[in-house]
Chains A and B, each alone.
Chain A
Protein backbone atom coordinates (compact mmCIF):
# COMPACT_ATOMS: atom_id res chain seq x y z
CA UNK A 1 0.00 0.00 0.00
CA UNK A 2 1.19 3.47 -0.85
CA UNK A 3 0.41 6.65 1.04
CA UNK A 4 0.28 9.98 -0.76
CA UNK A 5 -1.04 13.43 0.10
CA UNK A 6 -3.63 15.18 -2.06
CA UNK A 7 -4.67 18.72 -1.21
CA UNK A 8 -3.34 18.19 2.27
CA UNK A 9 -5.25 14.97 2.82
CA UNK A 10 -3.48 11.64 3.20
CA UNK A 11 -4.78 8.67 1.28
CA UNK A 12 -3.62 5.05 1.15
CA UNK A 13 -3.93 3.20 -2.13
CA UNK A 14 -2.76 0.01 -3.79
CA UNK A 15 0.29 0.00 -6.01
CA UNK A 16 -0.60 0.85 -9.59
CA UNK A 17 -3.34 3.31 -8.66
CA UNK A 18 -3.15 6.60 -10.50
CA UNK A 19 -3.39 10.01 -8.86
CA UNK A 20 -6.75 10.54 -10.56
CA UNK A 21 -8.16 7.37 -9.04
CA UNK A 22 -6.74 8.23 -5.63
CA UNK A 23 -8.30 11.69 -5.81
CA UNK A 24 -11.64 10.20 -6.78
CA UNK A 25 -11.41 7.98 -3.73
CA UNK A 26 -11.15 11.14 -1.64
CA UNK A 27 -14.09 12.68 -3.47
CA UNK A 28 -11.97 15.25 -5.27
CA UNK A 29 -13.17 15.86 -8.82
CA UNK A 30 -10.46 16.55 -11.33
CA UNK A 31 -11.74 17.64 -14.75
CA UNK A 32 -11.01 15.22 -17.59
CA UNK A 33 -11.86 14.86 -21.25
CA UNK A 34 -9.93 11.95 -22.72
CA UNK A 35 -10.30 9.75 -19.65
CA UNK A 36 -12.75 6.89 -19.46
CA UNK A 37 -12.82 4.28 -16.74
CA UNK A 38 -13.19 1.40 -19.16
CA UNK A 39 -10.24 2.36 -21.38
CA UNK A 40 -6.50 2.63 -20.73
CA UNK A 41 -5.59 6.17 -19.71
CA UNK A 42 -3.96 8.15 -22.51
CA UNK A 43 -3.01 11.56 -21.13
CA UNK A 44 -3.72 13.51 -24.32
CA UNK A 45 -6.08 16.28 -23.24
CA UNK A 46 -3.88 17.40 -20.29
CA UNK A 47 -6.98 18.63 -18.48
CA UNK A 48 -6.40 16.36 -15.50
CA UNK A 49 -2.99 17.89 -14.75
CA UNK A 50 -2.05 18.32 -11.10
CA UNK A 51 0.95 19.86 -9.43
CA UNK A 52 3.29 17.40 -7.74
CA UNK A 53 6.31 17.98 -5.58
CA UNK A 54 7.20 20.61 -3.03
CA UNK A 55 9.18 23.82 -2.88
CA UNK A 56 11.00 24.85 -6.03
CA UNK A 57 10.87 21.54 -7.81
CA UNK A 58 7.21 21.14 -8.62
CA UNK A 59 5.87 20.10 -11.98
CA UNK A 60 2.57 19.44 -13.66
CA UNK A 61 1.70 15.88 -14.67
CA UNK A 62 -1.44 14.23 -15.99
CA UNK A 63 -3.09 12.55 -13.02
CA UNK A 64 -4.78 9.90 -15.16
CA UNK A 65 -1.43 8.35 -16.12
CA UNK A 66 0.83 9.18 -13.19
CA UNK A 67 1.15 6.29 -10.72
CA UNK A 68 0.84 6.98 -7.00
CA UNK A 69 4.21 7.10 -5.25
CA UNK A 70 5.02 6.84 -1.59
CA UNK A 71 5.11 10.29 -0.06
CA UNK A 72 3.97 12.09 -3.19
CA UNK A 73 2.52 15.54 -2.52
CA UNK A 74 -0.25 16.55 -4.91
CA UNK A 75 -2.26 19.72 -5.35
CA UNK A 76 -5.19 19.45 -7.70
CA UNK A 77 -6.31 23.08 -7.84
CA UNK A 78 -3.25 25.29 -7.34
CA UNK A 79 -3.08 28.58 -9.19
CA UNK A 80 -0.61 27.21 -11.72
CA UNK A 81 -2.87 24.24 -12.43
CA UNK A 82 -6.07 26.24 -12.74
CA UNK A 83 -4.47 28.79 -15.05
CA UNK A 84 -3.13 26.02 -17.24
CA UNK A 85 -6.50 24.26 -17.37
CA UNK A 86 -8.23 27.48 -18.38
CA UNK A 87 -5.84 27.99 -21.28
CA UNK A 88 -6.27 24.36 -22.32
CA UNK A 89 -10.04 24.71 -22.47
CA UNK A 90 -9.68 27.95 -24.40
CA UNK A 91 -7.55 26.03 -26.91
CA UNK A 92 -10.18 23.30 -27.06
CA UNK A 93 -12.94 25.85 -27.68
CA UNK A 94 -10.92 27.41 -30.47
CA UNK A 95 -10.78 24.06 -32.15
CA UNK A 96 -14.24 22.57 -31.44
CA UNK A 97 -16.74 25.24 -30.40
CA UNK A 98 -19.59 22.97 -31.44
CA UNK A 99 -19.01 20.48 -28.66
CA UNK A 100 -21.34 20.79 -25.67
CA UNK A 101 -18.90 18.93 -23.48
CA UNK A 102 -16.24 21.53 -24.12
CA UNK A 103 -18.64 24.46 -23.78
CA UNK A 104 -19.74 23.08 -20.43
CA UNK A 105 -16.15 22.82 -19.28
CA UNK A 106 -15.61 26.42 -20.32
CA UNK A 107 -18.57 27.67 -18.33
CA UNK A 108 -17.53 25.70 -15.28
CA UNK A 109 -14.13 27.38 -15.39
CA UNK A 110 -15.44 30.84 -16.06
CA UNK A 111 -13.98 31.19 -19.53
CA UNK A 112 -15.75 33.91 -21.45
CA UNK A 113 -13.57 34.58 -24.47
CA UNK A 114 -11.46 32.81 -27.04
CA UNK A 115 -8.39 34.67 -28.25
CA UNK A 116 -7.43 32.34 -31.08
CA UNK A 117 -8.68 31.84 -34.61
CA UNK A 118 -11.64 29.49 -34.55
CA UNK A 119 -11.27 26.24 -36.46
CA UNK A 120 -14.73 24.70 -36.25
CA UNK A 121 -13.31 21.20 -36.24
CA UNK A 122 -15.40 18.28 -35.08
CA UNK A 123 -12.54 16.35 -33.53
CA UNK A 124 -10.56 17.26 -30.42
CA UNK A 125 -8.14 14.34 -30.93
CA UNK A 126 -8.78 12.91 -27.48
CA UNK A 127 -8.39 9.38 -28.79
CA UNK A 128 -11.39 7.92 -27.00
CA UNK A 129 -12.77 6.50 -30.24
CA UNK A 130 -9.43 4.95 -31.18
CA UNK A 131 -9.06 3.28 -27.82
CA UNK A 132 -12.71 2.22 -27.78
CA UNK A 133 -12.37 0.60 -31.17
CA UNK A 134 -9.14 -1.13 -30.22
CA UNK A 135 -9.70 -2.17 -26.63
CA UNK A 136 -13.42 -2.68 -26.17
CA UNK A 137 -14.58 -3.57 -29.65
CA UNK A 138 -11.34 -5.28 -30.74
CA UNK A 139 -11.77 -4.00 -34.28
CA UNK A 140 -8.78 -1.66 -34.73
CA UNK A 141 -10.42 0.11 -37.63
CA UNK A 142 -9.29 3.65 -36.85
CA UNK A 143 -6.14 5.28 -35.59
CA UNK A 144 -4.07 8.46 -35.38
CA UNK A 145 -2.62 9.34 -38.74
CA UNK A 146 0.10 11.92 -39.50
CA UNK A 147 1.64 13.89 -36.67
CA UNK A 148 1.83 17.34 -35.12
CA UNK A 149 -0.71 19.88 -36.25
CA UNK A 150 -1.67 17.57 -39.15
CA UNK A 151 -2.71 14.74 -36.82
CA UNK A 152 -6.16 13.28 -37.46
CA UNK A 153 -8.27 10.23 -36.67
CA UNK A 154 -9.18 8.14 -39.68
CA UNK A 155 -9.24 4.70 -41.27
CA UNK A 156 -6.39 3.24 -43.35
CA UNK A 157 -6.08 5.29 -46.55
CA UNK A 158 -9.22 7.16 -45.46
CA UNK A 159 -11.29 4.46 -47.13
CA UNK A 160 -14.08 2.36 -45.75
CA UNK A 161 -12.48 -0.09 -43.36
CA UNK A 162 -12.73 -3.83 -43.88
CA UNK A 163 -12.66 -4.48 -40.17
CA UNK A 164 -15.17 -1.83 -39.13
CA UNK A 165 -18.34 -3.53 -37.92
CA UNK A 166 -20.32 -0.25 -37.79
CA UNK A 167 -20.96 -0.81 -34.11
CA UNK A 168 -21.16 2.92 -33.41
CA UNK A 169 -19.04 2.73 -30.26
CA UNK A 170 -16.79 5.50 -31.54
CA UNK A 171 -19.75 7.86 -31.96
CA UNK A 172 -21.10 6.90 -28.56
CA UNK A 173 -17.91 7.80 -26.74
CA UNK A 174 -16.99 10.94 -28.66
CA UNK A 175 -17.16 14.09 -26.49
CA UNK A 176 -17.23 16.43 -29.46
CA UNK A 177 -20.12 14.87 -31.33
CA UNK A 178 -22.12 13.60 -28.35
CA UNK A 179 -24.34 16.59 -28.10
CA UNK A 180 -24.27 19.65 -30.20
CA UNK A 181 -24.23 22.85 -28.29
CA UNK A 182 -27.24 25.03 -28.98
CA UNK A 183 -25.79 28.37 -28.46
CA UNK A 184 -22.30 29.65 -29.29
CA UNK A 185 -22.68 33.06 -30.80
CA UNK A 186 -20.12 34.51 -33.10
CA UNK A 187 -17.91 36.47 -32.58
CA UNK A 188 -17.15 35.24 -29.06
CA UNK A 189 -17.66 31.55 -29.89
CA UNK A 190 -18.27 30.79 -26.21
CA UNK A 191 -21.75 29.65 -25.22
CA UNK A 192 -21.72 30.41 -21.48
CA UNK A 193 -25.29 29.14 -21.30
CA UNK A 194 -24.58 27.54 -17.97
CA UNK A 195 -22.01 30.00 -16.70
CA UNK A 196 -21.99 29.91 -12.92
CA UNK A 197 -22.27 33.44 -11.76
CA UNK A 198 -22.39 32.67 -8.07
CA UNK A 199 -21.38 29.64 -6.11
CA UNK A 200 -24.55 27.61 -5.48
CA UNK A 201 -23.58 26.30 -2.06
CA UNK A 202 -23.62 29.58 -0.20
CA UNK A 203 -27.25 30.29 -1.12
CA UNK A 204 -28.47 27.09 0.45
CA UNK A 205 -25.97 25.87 3.00
CA UNK A 206 -24.20 27.39 5.91
CA UNK A 207 -21.07 25.31 5.39
CA UNK A 208 -18.95 25.39 2.29
CA UNK A 209 -19.09 22.09 0.40
CA UNK A 210 -15.48 22.21 -0.65
CA UNK A 211 -15.27 19.42 -3.21
CA UNK A 212 -18.41 20.28 -5.12
CA UNK A 213 -17.91 21.15 -8.73
CA UNK A 214 -17.21 24.06 -9.53
CA UNK A 215 -15.04 24.33 -6.47
CA UNK A 216 -12.76 27.28 -6.05
CA UNK A 217 -15.45 29.93 -6.51
CA UNK A 218 -16.41 29.46 -2.87
CA UNK A 219 -12.87 29.40 -1.62
CA UNK A 220 -12.08 32.46 -3.69
CA UNK A 221 -14.63 34.48 -1.78
CA UNK A 222 -13.30 33.19 1.49
CA UNK A 223 -9.75 33.97 0.48
CA UNK A 224 -10.72 37.52 -0.51
CA UNK A 225 -12.46 37.97 2.85
CA UNK A 226 -9.39 36.71 4.65
CA UNK A 227 -7.19 39.14 2.75
CA UNK A 228 -9.48 42.02 3.64
CA UNK A 229 -9.45 40.97 7.28
CA UNK A 230 -5.67 40.92 7.38
CA UNK A 231 -5.26 44.34 5.83
Chain B
Protein backbone atom coordinates (compact mmCIF):
# COMPACT_ATOMS: atom_id res chain seq x y z
CA UNK B 1 0.00 0.00 0.00
CA UNK B 2 2.94 2.28 0.78
CA UNK B 3 4.04 1.81 -2.81
CA UNK B 4 0.71 2.91 -4.17
CA UNK B 5 0.88 6.18 -2.23
CA UNK B 6 3.70 7.26 -4.52
CA UNK B 7 1.46 6.62 -7.53
CA UNK B 8 -1.51 8.37 -5.90
CA UNK B 9 0.60 11.45 -5.34
CA UNK B 10 1.55 11.59 -9.03
CA UNK B 11 -2.05 11.08 -10.14
CA UNK B 12 -3.20 13.86 -7.84
CA UNK B 13 -0.53 16.16 -9.21
CA UNK B 14 -2.21 15.76 -12.60
CA UNK B 15 -5.72 16.07 -11.21
CA UNK B 16 -6.58 12.47 -12.07
CA UNK B 17 -7.22 13.59 -15.65
CA UNK B 18 -6.83 10.71 -18.08
CA UNK B 19 -5.56 13.12 -20.74
CA UNK B 20 -2.44 13.42 -18.59
CA UNK B 21 -1.73 9.68 -18.85
CA UNK B 22 1.63 10.16 -20.53
CA UNK B 23 2.89 12.70 -17.97
CA UNK B 24 1.65 10.42 -15.18
CA UNK B 25 3.52 7.44 -16.62
CA UNK B 26 6.67 9.56 -16.99
CA UNK B 27 6.62 10.73 -13.39
CA UNK B 28 5.76 7.27 -12.06
CA UNK B 29 8.64 5.77 -14.07
CA UNK B 30 10.94 8.27 -12.44
CA UNK B 31 9.90 6.90 -9.03
CA UNK B 32 10.34 3.22 -9.84
CA UNK B 33 12.98 3.38 -12.59
CA UNK B 34 10.58 1.30 -14.71
CA UNK B 35 6.83 0.58 -15.03
CA UNK B 36 5.85 -2.65 -13.26
CA UNK B 37 2.71 -4.51 -14.29
CA UNK B 38 0.83 -3.98 -11.03
CA UNK B 39 1.56 -0.25 -11.12
CA UNK B 40 0.17 0.04 -14.65
CA UNK B 41 -2.91 -1.93 -13.62
CA UNK B 42 -3.40 0.35 -10.61
CA UNK B 43 -3.09 3.47 -12.79
CA UNK B 44 -5.70 2.10 -15.19
CA UNK B 45 -8.09 1.54 -12.29
CA UNK B 46 -7.54 4.97 -10.73
CA UNK B 47 -7.95 6.79 -14.04
CA UNK B 48 -10.93 4.66 -15.04
CA UNK B 49 -9.29 3.61 -18.28
CA UNK B 50 -9.44 0.18 -19.93
CA UNK B 51 -6.22 -1.62 -19.07
CA UNK B 52 -5.48 -2.19 -22.74
CA UNK B 53 -5.42 1.58 -23.36
CA UNK B 54 -2.76 2.08 -20.69
CA UNK B 55 -0.76 -0.89 -21.98
CA UNK B 56 -0.95 0.41 -25.55
CA UNK B 57 0.38 3.81 -24.53
CA UNK B 58 3.11 2.28 -22.35
CA UNK B 59 4.36 0.15 -25.25
CA UNK B 60 3.96 2.76 -27.98
CA UNK B 61 6.33 5.35 -26.54
CA UNK B 62 9.96 4.28 -26.34
CA UNK B 63 10.88 6.25 -23.24
CA UNK B 64 8.82 3.83 -21.14
CA UNK B 65 10.47 0.66 -19.91
CA UNK B 66 8.33 -2.31 -18.96
CA UNK B 67 11.33 -4.23 -17.75
CA UNK B 68 13.35 -3.38 -14.65
CA UNK B 69 16.37 -1.27 -15.46
CA UNK B 70 19.90 -1.45 -14.10
CA UNK B 71 21.64 0.90 -11.71
CA UNK B 72 23.18 2.87 -14.57
CA UNK B 73 21.39 3.84 -17.73
CA UNK B 74 23.63 4.05 -20.80
CA UNK B 75 22.07 5.89 -23.71
CA UNK B 76 23.88 5.88 -27.04
CA UNK B 77 22.87 8.47 -29.59
CA UNK B 78 22.15 7.03 -33.02
CA UNK B 79 21.20 10.25 -34.71
CA UNK B 80 22.35 10.76 -38.29
CA UNK B 81 25.29 13.01 -37.41
CA UNK B 82 26.52 10.61 -34.74
CA UNK B 83 25.99 7.69 -37.11
CA UNK B 84 28.04 9.32 -39.84
CA UNK B 85 30.81 9.87 -37.32
CA UNK B 86 30.89 6.24 -36.21
CA UNK B 87 28.18 6.00 -33.54
CA UNK B 88 27.32 2.44 -34.57
CA UNK B 89 30.86 1.28 -33.82
CA UNK B 90 30.68 2.81 -30.34
CA UNK B 91 27.39 1.03 -29.69
CA UNK B 92 28.85 -2.29 -30.83
CA UNK B 93 31.86 -1.87 -28.56
CA UNK B 94 29.60 -1.22 -25.57
CA UNK B 95 27.45 -4.21 -26.52
CA UNK B 96 30.54 -6.39 -26.59
CA UNK B 97 31.90 -5.14 -23.29
CA UNK B 98 28.81 -5.53 -21.13
CA UNK B 99 27.21 -8.28 -23.19
CA UNK B 100 23.82 -6.64 -23.70
CA UNK B 101 21.75 -5.59 -26.67
CA UNK B 102 19.83 -2.29 -26.72
CA UNK B 103 16.79 -2.50 -24.46
CA UNK B 104 18.40 -5.06 -22.22
CA UNK B 105 20.03 -4.98 -18.81
CA UNK B 106 23.30 -6.68 -17.91
CA UNK B 107 23.18 -9.86 -15.83
CA UNK B 108 24.55 -8.16 -12.74
CA UNK B 109 21.83 -5.49 -13.10
CA UNK B 110 24.52 -2.84 -13.34
CA UNK B 111 23.92 -1.38 -16.77
CA UNK B 112 20.89 -0.94 -18.99
CA UNK B 113 21.65 -0.07 -22.60
CA UNK B 114 19.30 2.06 -24.66
CA UNK B 115 19.58 3.97 -27.88
CA UNK B 116 18.06 7.30 -28.77
CA UNK B 117 17.51 8.96 -32.10
CA UNK B 118 19.26 12.28 -31.55
CA UNK B 119 19.91 14.27 -28.41
CA UNK B 120 20.58 17.46 -30.28
CA UNK B 121 24.30 17.61 -29.48
CA UNK B 122 25.47 16.75 -32.96
CA UNK B 123 28.56 18.92 -32.78
CA UNK B 124 30.17 16.63 -30.23
CA UNK B 125 29.03 13.35 -31.68
CA UNK B 126 29.22 10.41 -31.24
CA UNK B 127 27.58 10.82 -27.83
CA UNK B 128 26.99 8.48 -24.94
CA UNK B 129 24.95 9.58 -21.92
CA UNK B 130 25.29 7.71 -18.65
CA UNK B 131 22.95 8.65 -15.80
CA UNK B 132 22.40 12.07 -17.30
CA UNK B 133 26.11 12.83 -17.85
CA UNK B 134 27.01 13.58 -21.45
CA UNK B 135 30.21 12.13 -22.94
CA UNK B 136 31.02 13.53 -26.35
CA UNK B 137 33.43 12.61 -29.13
CA UNK B 138 33.28 8.97 -28.13
CA UNK B 139 35.20 6.32 -29.97
CA UNK B 140 35.77 2.62 -29.36
CA UNK B 141 38.94 3.30 -27.40
CA UNK B 142 37.22 5.51 -24.82
CA UNK B 143 34.47 2.99 -24.07
CA UNK B 144 36.49 0.74 -21.77
CA UNK B 145 37.63 3.50 -19.43
CA UNK B 146 34.18 5.08 -19.40
CA UNK B 147 32.51 1.85 -18.30
CA UNK B 148 35.30 1.31 -15.75
CA UNK B 149 34.47 4.68 -14.20
CA UNK B 150 30.97 3.50 -13.36
CA UNK B 151 31.97 0.01 -12.29
CA UNK B 152 34.43 1.56 -9.88
CA UNK B 153 31.78 3.92 -8.56
CA UNK B 154 29.62 0.96 -7.61
CA UNK B 155 32.45 -0.80 -5.82
CA UNK B 156 33.15 2.25 -3.64
Contacts and interface: CB of A to CB of B under 8 A. Distances in A.
CB–CB under 8 A between A and B in the complex? yes
Interface of A: 140-147, 155-157, 161-163
B37 to A, nearest CB: 6
B37 A143 contact: no
A143 B52 contact: yes
A157 B55 contact: yes
A162 B59 CA distance: 19
B60 A142 contact: no
A61 B50 CA distance: 32
Contacts of B56: 143-145
A145 B51 CA distance: 12
Q: Give chain B's interface residue range (CB within 8 Å of chain A).
A: 10 to 19
B53 interface: yes
Chain A residues touching B, majority SS: loop
A81 to B, nearest CB: 31
A162 B51 CA distance: 10
Contacts of A146: 59-60
Contacts of B41: 156
Given A141-B52, A157-B55, A161-B51, 20 more contacts: A140-B50, A140-B53, A142-B52, A143-B52, A143-B55, A144-B56, A145-B59, A145-B60, A146-B59, A147-B59, A155-B52, A156-B41, A156-B51, A156-B52, A156-B54, A156-B55, A161-B52, A162-B51, A163-B50, A163-B51
A22 B34 CA distance: 49
A140 B54 CA distance: 12
Nearest to B60: A147
A140 B53 CA distance: 8
Contacts of A142: 52
A142 B40 CA distance: 16
Contacts of B37: 157
Nearest to B50: A140
A162 B37 CA distance: 14
A177 B60 CA distance: 26
Contacts of A140: 50, 52-53
Contacts of B55: 143, 145, 156-157
A144 B51 CA distance: 12
Most interface-central of B51, B52, B55 (chain A CB within 10 A): B52
Most interface-central of A140, A141, A147, A157 (chain B CB within 10 A): A157
A13 B109 CA distance: 63
